[in-house]
Each structure stands twice: as structure tokens, then as C-alpha cells.
Structure 1
Amino acid sequence: MKESELKTKAAVLSVALLLYTASLTTPAIGAIARAFPGVSPELVKQIAALPPLMTILGALITGQLERFVRKKTILYLAITIEFLFGGIIPALYGDMTFILICRAIFGLGYGLIFPLASSLVADLYEGRERDSMMGLKSAVGAAAGIVFQMIGGYLAVISWRYAFWGFLLLIPIFIVIALVLPEPVRKPKPAASDSAFCGLTPGTWYLSGLNLLYNIMIFSFMTNVAIVMAEGKIGNAAQAGLVLTAFTTGAFAAGLFYGRIARIAGRYTAALAVGLVGLAFLLLIRVHTYPLFVLAGIIFGLGFGIYNPALTLLVVGSAHPSTATLAVSVYIAFQGIGQFLSPIVLLYITTALGLHGPLAAWTVAGPALLAASMVIILLTALLKPKHRPVIPG
């Protein structure tokens, strides 16, 4: 591989690092709560909850902004927003209301970056190399999430303000992007491109909607694992954290080897991903020992790590080449909506089915995802190769 190609790949993957900077401040939430004893814990939790919600808006803005502005310009704007409002300003000024405002603006900048991390891969690479790079993007992100969280944790021990100073790490990333990342060549726009969502196909909306359903199911893993382990006397908070680390490790491995996995599984890659997540949920509702929870976490991570690049590539392929960013923007916005709706929808379903307790959501999610995997396999086998498989969420 030429040195210039290696540098370009490093620059493209550095954009993925920006998607996990929120992990820098997550460990500081407890320290912030202690520093503001007069503020309700629910309000303090919004420090973590606000950015994902604003990501939905930011992602949609990127999809439209990219029609008129260069991608690197959008990246510069987003990094500046993340750097100033995500870290520097909250570190200097300590009023809780102001911190929450900054976190909302940070989420907007975060959302601007999210679609670009995938569309840059789609713009600069093709074929198997595109598959491998999309997987590496997920792997780099998984590793960055662990590293940033560790850095944020160490800094938060000194002071919650120091965790925000961790955003100084954005400076070298900004330099790499500015000096090395090439500006993708603009592709010809489709006819009648005046429409805000021109270039998207019914398949784009279909995949995005099904991704919403998928995220409603899977998000219950992140929100419930510590509660299930505590109430089932399977492990403490530290051990629950290790289960989540096992999940991240599985996602990292899946991303690292995604190119090979996709070549072997072929058209059934999405079915494999959804099936692995469903299997993990099935294990989680049936096992009651800590080692098996760790195993389930790894299996969940493998499915999660395969699903993200597989579905992103399908979404990119479903739209006109000039609207890859817009397609990913819609896809990510639906993903955020699914995560936001997850506890609400699952509570409604479990209540309707008469299911109660911390395992109720998983009891719905596991069978639903396994059934979806079987449907994908069936439909993929029946459809001709030139057609894209239907991907239930």
C-alpha cells in the first residue's frame, strides 16, 4: 500500500474518532452530581441524554447542508462546535443550566459529523475495500469509546472540569483532517434535484424505518444490563461494566474482520448480524451466571459490529451516488428516534403482553430479532441476487 493511501485511510478513520468524544464526559456525571448537590439527579443525567437527542437534528442538517457546502467545511464547523461547546466552555463556566445548553449544542455538532463518517468511506472507496473500511470505521470507533471513557474517568477523578478538558484531543484530529483528508469529488446530481430529499429511494426510507425498529429492540441491552445483573444477584456495577466492555470487544472484533465476514456470509450478512443479537438476548434471559453474561455480551457485540457496516452499506447503495450523505443522515436520524422511543415502546409492548420485571424487554427483543433473522434468510433466498434483501429490524 502506498504511503499516501495509508495516510488517507488514517484520515478517514480519524473522523470516526469524533463520534465517540461524548465518552469523555460520561464518567464525570457522578462527580458533577456531587459538585451540584442542589440539582436533581434527573437533571444531571441530561448531560448524557441531551446530545443523542440533538444528534437527530444535526444529522438531518448535514444531509441538507452537504448539497451546498463542502464536506470538509462541515467537518471544520462540527469539530469547532464539539471543541468549544463540548469541552472548553463547560470547563470554564460551571452553571448547570449553561452546561446543559452547551451539551445540546455539542449534540448538534456531533450529529453533523455522524453521517459524514460513513459517507466519506462511500465516496472514497469501492467494492471490497469499501466493505473493509466501513468495518474498520466501526472497529476504530469501538476502541475509541473505551479509550476516551478511560481518559474521561481518570480526568474526572481529579475534577469534573478536567473531563471536559479532554476535548483538547480534538486538536490533533482536526490537524490530520485539515492536512491529509481529501475532499471527495462531487458526483452529478439526479434530475429534479431541487427536492430536499431527491435521490433517496423507497428502499432508503424502508431500511431506515426498519433500523428504527431494530434500535428500539437493541437499546434495551444498554439500559437494562446493570439492572438485570443487580436484581438477579449476578454481579455488581463493576461487573456490569465488564459485560459492556465484552460487548465493545465483540463489536471491535466484528468491525476489524468485517470485510472477510461479508465475503463469507455474502447476501446473508445482515441476517447473521440480527441473528447474533437475537441469540445474545435469548442467552441473557435464560442464563444466571456472570461468565455466561460476559459470553452473551461478546455475542451481542459481534452482531452489533456486523450490523452497523452492513446496514450502512445497504443504505448508501439504496440512494443516488450524489446523495450518500443525505441517505445516511436519514438512516441515523431514524436510529436516534428508535433509541429515544425504545423504553417507551417496549414498556407498552411488555405491559400489553403481561410481562413484568427487568427481563421483560429482553423477552420481547430476543424472539423478535431471531424471527426477523429467519425472515431475512427466507426472503434473501427467494429473491434474485440483483435485488436487495428485505431487512426487517
Structure 2
Amino acid sequence: MMVEKKHDFFTKAAVLSIALLMYTTSMTTPALGEIAKAFPDVSPEVIKQIASLPSLMMVVFSLLCGQLERFMRPKKILYLAMTLTFVGGILPAFVGGMTFILITRAVFGAGFGLSFPMASSVVADLFKGQERDTLMGYRSAVGAMAGVVFQMVGGILASMYWRYAFLGFLLVIPIFILIHFKLPNYDKKQNATTDEEIPKNRLSRKTYLFSIFNAFFNILQFSFMTNVALVMTSGEIGNAAQAGTVLTVFTAAAFVAGLIYGKVAAIFKRFTISLAVGLIGFAFLILLNANTFLMFIVGSIVFGLGFGTYNPTLVLAIVRSAHKTASTVALSLYVALQGLGQFASPPILAFLTGIFGLTGPKAAWVVAAGIILSSCVISILVIAFTKPKTVETSPN
């Protein structure tokens, strides 16, 4: 069985490199201002679609990824994802007006959507037990660091000339080479024993419950990313640069949490999710009472530690909830609903704050803190009074 094979350092590096594909979209975000200057007749709303269109495509193609794995090996899906990512990413560096750029961003978004669930499903397919938990944490850490590095690269290139920002997608080439030579060309169906009957419904009720929970949770936690700059500016706590520093510190904390995730999960076991949710809820409490730049830094550290613990925990829960041949299908649903949750976060939180009569830039954080901390308490009670499954490889 493929999952029982021991893999060397370069194979693990190839597996983790898939996570880099998830954050290539960060390279073009710093260039939006320069692109707007290059196209003065184009409205700001259209310019913003350069960043938002790939996220919309991600929702569609992450779901498609789960269907492709029924008749394509994971490595071939990755070839398709990397090809679409590279072609759609690199072309605006050389030619095209705004319409052409948006078309290529849609192509890039298709590759982006295919690679997103694959970054976790390949880890789930090739590893098991403590090694899988550790690798899933490393995947989260690699992604967090990639977001910072790619954004810096994009910003440096865009400062020279806006088209140069798209040259950053040349980084897909070494990722392609590493995956081509070092990632096993395994068949997911071979991970099941020959005498095991694969059920028709490979996703369990828990798969859907976890995915829906994650979507609602992202509606709440995503308000940190969307509101932090506004809160700091309106409260005269810091400018855009300092808000960027807060987000960078958050990313660094998430990176650290990913590195130590395997050990944390081994200590807290089933209560790891309660720890993650509790840290994020506590971070919102700190941010609600923060009136100095230092307090925002502290809040972002706590948030990053919770965020870096939450992501691999939910991914592993999704993987364990489905049949072992359906990890990609389960993660595709998970990613698609997460994207919808993030997309719908601002209007839904605006609706909730209106119902509760909350106003001000921190209003959304009041709702988020209350619901998330309540969820933490509920999760502790549910886990404490629920008998654990002793066999991890159970289809459900």
C-alpha cells in the first residue's frame, strides 16, 4: 500500500511545494496600484477584479478537482493545475490590455482552484499517523511563509514596472520540476485493499458538518484581515504600513504554529480544535480592547498561533471524516465552502452587526469574539462527552 511507504526528504519537499502554488496569487496584489496608474481609464472596481477573480474561480475549480480525481491520478491533476497557473500567471508580463489580463486571471484562478485541495490531499494520501499530522503542520507553515515571500517579490518587481510582477510566476518552474521528479505517481484507488468494497457515498455526514462549520467560522475570522487596517487608521493607532506589519506578524505566528503543530496535536489530541478556536476568540478580545500598536501586535501573535493550529486541525478532521479514497473530494468541498465564507464575510457581518445594533469599525469583531468563544466552550463540552473513535483509518 502506498501510504505505508517511507518517503525521503526530497519527496516530502515535493509534497510541501504544492502548498506554494496556493499562495502565488500574492505576487500580483502589490502591483494593483501600479496597474491602476497604467490604465487610468479603467475603474478601480475592475482593477480589484485582478485580485478577486482568482478567488471566485477557486470555488468552482476546487469542486471540479474532486471530480477529476475519479479518473485522473493526483500527479496529472497537479500537472494541469501548474500549467494553468503558469500560463495564466505569466502572460500579462509580456502582452495584453485589461480585458486580456482579466481573462488570464481567470485561467490562473482555474489552476489556483485545482491546486488548493491537492496541497492537503496529497499529504493525506502519502502519509499517516503522527507523520501525517506533522507534515500537515509543515504545509500550513510553508504556505504562511510563501504568502510573505511572494508578496515581497511581487512588490519589488512591481516597483520596477507593473508587468514585471507577473514574472514572479517563473517560480512555478522549479516547483514543476521538483514535483515531476520526486512526487510519486500513485493511484488513489490502490490505497484501498483489493478486497475492500469502496462505498458509493464516500463522504460522511461529518464531512459536510465540518465543511459547513469551517465556512461559518471563516465568515467570522476573516474579519480580522479585512478590518485591521480600517480599525487602526480610524482609531489613529497606526497607518497602512503599521497595519501591514501587524498582518506580517500574524503570518509569522501562523508559521511558527505550523512548525510545532505535530507536537501540539500530540499533547492536546482531540482538544486541539478547542485550543485553536479559543486562541482566535481570545485574540479578538485583545483586539477589541487594543488602543496601542503594541496591543495589536500581541493580538496578531495570538491570532496567528490560533490560525496556524486551526487550519491543519480542520483539514485532518475533513480527511478522517471521509473514506480514504475520497480525500480530494472531501477537501474540494471544504475549500469551496471556505472560499464562499470568506467572500460573504463582509456583507453577512454587516447584517449581523445591524441586527445587534452595533456600530463602529470594531463592530464585526464584537460579533466574532462572542460567537467564537462560545464555540470554543461548546466544542470542549461536546468532545469531553463524546466517545472517541479508536480506529483512525475508519471510513467515517
TM-score for both structures, normalised by structure 1? 0.95
Say if 1:59 and 1:114, in contact at 8 Å, map to a contact too.
Answer: yes
Say if 1:190 and 1:320, in contact at 8 Å, map to a contact too.
Answer: no
Between the aligned partners of 2:379 and 2:148, the Cα distance in structure 1 is: 32
Q: 2:205 aligns with which of 202, 206, 213?
A: 202
Percent identity reads: 57
Say if 1:252 and 1:305, in contact at 8 Å, map to a contact too.
Answer: yes
Between the aligned partners of 1:330 and 1:79, the Cα distance in structure 2 is: 21
Aligned to 2:314: 311
1:384 shift after superposition: 1.1
Q: 1:144 aligns with which of 134, 143, 146?
A: 146
Q: 1:177 aligns with which of 148, 171, 179?
A: 179
Aligned to 1:273: 276
Aligned to 2:164: 162
Say if 1:123 and 1:184, in contact at 8 Å, map to a contact too.
Answer: no
- The alignment partner of 1:183 has SS state of coil
Q: 1:322 aligns with which of 316, 322, 325?
A: 325
Question: Deviations 1:231-274 (Å, cap 9, x if unpaired)?
Answer: 00000000000000011011000000000010111110000101
Map 1:174-323 onto structure 2 (within 5 A).
174-187=176-189, 188=192, 191=198, 193=200, 198-323=201-326
Q: Read off the aligned partner of 1:382 and give its amino acid letter.
A: F
- The alignment partner of 2:222 has SS state of helix
Between the aligned partners of 2:96 and 2:40, the Cα distance in structure 1 is: 13
Mark the runs of 5 or more structure 2 residues left unpaired by the alignment: 392-396
Aligned to 1:348: 351
1:16 shift after superposition: 0.8
Between the aligned partners of 1:361 and 1:354, the Cα distance in structure 2 is: 11
Between the aligned partners of 2:18 and 2:303, the Cα distance in structure 1 is: 25
Aligned to 2:394: none
Change (3 A) 1:49 1:255: same
TM-score for both structures, normalised by structure 2? 0.94
Aligned to 1:53: 56
Cα RMSD of the aligned pairs, angstroms, is 1.5
Between the aligned partners of 2:266 and 2:26, the Cα distance in structure 1 is: 32
Say if 1:63 and 1:325, in contact at 8 Å, map to a contact too.
Answer: yes
1:3 shift after superposition: 11
1:191 shift after superposition: 4.3
Say if 1:120 and 1:184, in contact at 8 Å, map to a contact too.
Answer: no
Say if 2:140 and 2:308, in contact at 8 Å, map to a contact too.
Answer: yes
1:183 shift after superposition: 2.0
Say if 2:27 and 2:165, in contact at 8 Å, map to a contact too.
Answer: yes
Aligned to 1:113: 115
Between the aligned partners of 1:262 and 1:221, the Cα distance in structure 2 is: 25
**Number of aligned residue pairs:** 382
Between the aligned partners of 2:362 and 2:152, the Cα distance in structure 1 is: 29
Between the aligned partners of 1:223 and 1:44, the Cα distance in structure 2 is: 18
Between the aligned partners of 1:185 and 1:127, the Cα distance in structure 2 is: 20
Q: 1:372 aligns with which of 348, 372, 375?
A: 375
Q: Read off the aligned partner of 1:95 and give its amino acid letter.
A: G
Say if 2:74 and 2:187, in contact at 8 Å, map to a contact too.
Answer: no
1:356 shift after superposition: 1.2
Q: 2:360 aligns with which of 330, 345, 357?
A: 357
Between the aligned partners of 1:61 and 1:16, the Cα distance in structure 2 is: 19
1:100 shift after superposition: 1.2
Say if 2:73 and 2:187, in contact at 8 Å, map to a contact too.
Answer: no
- The alignment partner of 2:108 has SS state of helix
Between the aligned partners of 2:302 and 2:244, the Cα distance in structure 1 is: 16
Change (3 A) 1:296 1:64: same
Question: Deviations 1:297-319 (Å, cap 9, x if unpaired)?
Answer: 11111111000000000000000
Q: 1:44 aligns with which of 29, 43, 47?
A: 47
Aligned to 1:391: none
Between the aligned partners of 1:220 and 1:109, the Cα distance in structure 2 is: 26
- The alignment partner of 2:101 has SS state of helix
- The alignment partner of 2:326 has SS state of helix
Mark the runs of 5 or more structure 1 residues left unpaired by the alignment: 389-393
Between the aligned partners of 2:198 and 2:74, the Cα distance in structure 1 is: 22
Question: Deviations 1:23-42 (Å, cap 9, x if unpaired)?
Answer: 11111011101111111111
Between the aligned partners of 1:229 and 1:190, the Cα distance in structure 2 is: 56
Q: Does 1:101 pair with 2:125?
A: no
Out of 236-245 and 46-55, give the one that drifted further: 46-55
Say if 2:141 and 2:259, in contact at 8 Å, map to a contact too.
Answer: yes
